[in-house]
Structure 1
């Protein structure tokens, strides 16, 4: 007898629209005592089958749907086919080896809820962020180990979201030889060192790839401020675009040291880059008080809102940092401003930036809206997957 979860009428309607989440409030009954991550049948109140999903008793997202096909079995072959489909989707994105690091699997948008797989040259770095993905870890790793060019599979399931699933944080080697602490990747003209063991997320912000190229295209002769710089991605891109000078700002000395290494890796002039360690809000206020001006300002802060409950506080943070960024822009300057908070909707983010311009006494025009790189697709039925949003704004 299969394990079953009975869903409310409203929950059933969401599933019929192919949304892959069932929240705890939509559960009307559980039959068969399913274990963590175990596959369950989803039924409406009349017993009509709706999907197969992974059960997560500790999470507010009680079930994540694997498939809406009643004939499809959730087994090792299922994961092999889904991963191969994800690879096929990305096969033509970056031809001729121009990019050696990209997202191979992007969770729900690739039909594999809770699974993130990023490739850094010969290393696949995984995050098993849901109970279902965790339960099928061995089968998933066995598929990744067979992918052409992959020598090692490394786990970075150390994201705090795992605790909401009742899972411990885990990291370490899952297959193959222990990779080097730093892996070199190529991104078109750019090269970067990535620390897959200790770096943010899986090691690097692959989702900003195309946005780095946009900064590069507008950097010639410009004074560029790269706030929340991490290992210097936007700054290195600006220097490759012939920026006159780049200031990277981050709270961590360790990542700024890696930015220096990335500078050398790309053969850029050391005198053209300045690395400043400190709290971004405090340092930007100091820059403003000193009268420093820049032609391009990049604001790529960490996630300010983990949930809708934190939106008000997050909105204040986004507004404050954008006010400061605008106050540091010379007339006609360009602001590249981003939010990676999934709870922050695009229209709200634009309103926050517009309000910041009013408070800064500036007028701005949106020249471009930005999102994650195409290897981070968004399913039409899962708008929550669209977490990264950005605006390229010219200030007058």
Structure 2
């Protein structure tokens, strides 16, 4: 087997368990290297760092799959997926869950979402893509699924020399399905929805609004397919208005409201939230609860400041629309904006809006998306509820 030897001066994160090894951390490679091959990685003192797959064309040259000198084969992937499923079952995630969350499940660059009997996967690196047949075989053996679909239509694959594509990895099936969540039902478009078709990472957080929305007038922005807003209506809101710039998302959100018999309480309109919230603030509109769940504002470190400015602005506008003693529900899925920085940004927004805030709850993503300490990309979602009062 080809061996990769690390420089003496490397980031401590590798010794501490992080699976990424960048090209500039490698001293030398002993043996032939073909992209996607399994290699052994050694520290400068000769001790084993782990075993993983290599891609000399990628900025991340090696992604470690194990710290042991164990064989990487079909059985290895079966065991990892079976172990991940056991973990989810122990936590109570049995119907819908993120079955594999990349590095957090010791399977770098692999995402698998389970929607009842259907599975959607993403293989985001060349090394993981080569094991796709083994992964599909494991899913079929463990679950006997009704269908498996790949959503590899993501630009990050091109950094690995891979093409973007999507399609069936099982016999074809109707990719418009319905799932159950917290007593509600939602349409999921596996083929054309964002990411893998549905955002499972907020499923626990959606329950957190239960008490603050009762008898409230609620405004939601960046609603996508309306899950937070429909939960608000279900939990007893007086009225709910959801906004999203996408006509398709709004159409599906209204379908979801009707699916749950909540269309008379909850409605959605296609609007640009940034523009609308600013204008409505000037108009003096007021709500008891404002919910903001925007998309990631940046994927590069160079634009972090721009992202912070965006989060501050949208939250400031949201706070100005809240009646005295109402609540702001706000999220950030930008993993480069760490939790402390996000909280500071909300605090700055409150000061500029001349509001006092009191934290109700601050949470991360659902527990089926586990967090590994020291791996910042696994601790990406920030979910905050604050009470908002006048100064």
Scaled to the shorter chain, the TM-score interval is over 0.9
Q: Matches of 1:319 and 1:211 in 2, distance apart?
A: 21
Which SS does the other structure have where 1:175 is aligned? coil
Deviation at 1:298, TM superposition (A): 1.1
Q: How many residues align?
A: 389
Question: 2: CA distance between counterparts of 1:22 and 1:358?
Answer: 42
Separation (CA, whole Å) in 1 of partners of 2:103 and 2:35: 18
Distance 1:33 1:282 in 2: 56
SS at match of 2:150: strand
Partner of 2:326: 333
- The structural deviation recorded for 1:12 is 6.9
| 1:141-180 → structure 2 map (5 Å cutoff) | 141-176=136-171, 178-180=172-174
C-alpha contact (below 8 Å) 1:121/1:184 kept by paired residues: no
CA distance in 1, matches of 2:250, 2:197: 14
1:105 matched residue in structure 2: 100
Distance in 2 (CA, whole Å) between partners of 1:319 and 1:165 is 34
The 8 Å contact of residues 254 and 267 in structure 2, kept in 1 or not, is answered as no
2:90 is paired with a residue whose SS is coil
Contact 2:335/2:376, CA 8 A, preserved across alignment: no
- Helix, strand or coil: the match of 1:192? strand
Taking the aligned partners of 1:314 and 1:25, their CA distance within structure 2 comes to 28
Displacement, 1:264? 1.3
Partner residue in 1 for 2:201? 207
The aligned residue for residue 255 of structure 1 is: 249
Among 287, 299, 302, the alignment partner of 1:294 is 287
Instruction: Tell me which residue corresponds to 1:317.
Output: 310
Q: CA deviation at 1:37?
A: 1.9
User: 1:304 pairs with 273, 297, 309, which one?
Assistant: 297
252-261 or 289-298, which deviates more: 289-298
Query: Shift of residue 381 of structure 1?
Result: 4.5
Equivalent residue for 1:135? 130
Are 1:27 and 2:21 an aligned pair?
A: no
- Cα separation, 1, equivalents of 2:330 and 2:12: 36
Moved more, 284-293 or 133-142: 284-293
Q: CA RMSD in A?
A: 1.5
Q: Which residue, 211, 222, 227 being the options, matches 2:221?
A: 227
Report if the CA contact (8 A) 1:231-1:255 is conserved: yes
Q: Judging changes above 3 Å, is the alpha-carbon distance between structure 1 residues 234 and 149 closer, same or farther for their aligned structure 2 residues? A: farther
Deviation at 1:38, TM superposition (A): 1.4
| Per-residue CA distance 1:131-156 (angstroms, 9 max, x = gap) | 22111111111111223351211000
Find out whether 1:375 has 2:368 as its counterpart: yes
Residue by residue over 1:234-282, the C-alpha shift from the partner in whole angstroms, topping out at 9 and shown as x without a partner, is 01100100111111111111111111111111111x2322312122101
The alignment's TM-score, normalised by the length of structure 2, stands at: 0.96
CA distance, structure 2, for counterparts of residue 149 and residue 395 of structure 1: 49
Tell me which moved more, 107-116 or 281-290.
281-290
Of the candidates 321, 339, 343, which is equivalent to residue 346 of structure 1?
Answer: 339
CA contact (8 A) 1:229 1:300 kept: yes
2:184 is the counterpart of 1:190: yes
Residues 370-391 of structure 1, C-alpha deviations (whole Å, 9 max, x = no match): 1111111112352321110121
Retained in 1: the 8 A contact 2:82–2:142? no
Which has the larger displacement, 30-39 or 77-86? Answer: 30-39
How far apart, in 2, do the equivalents of 1:29 and 1:225 lie?
A: 57
- Compute the TM-score of the two structures, normalised by the length of structure 1: 0.95
* Shift in Å, 1:297: 1.1
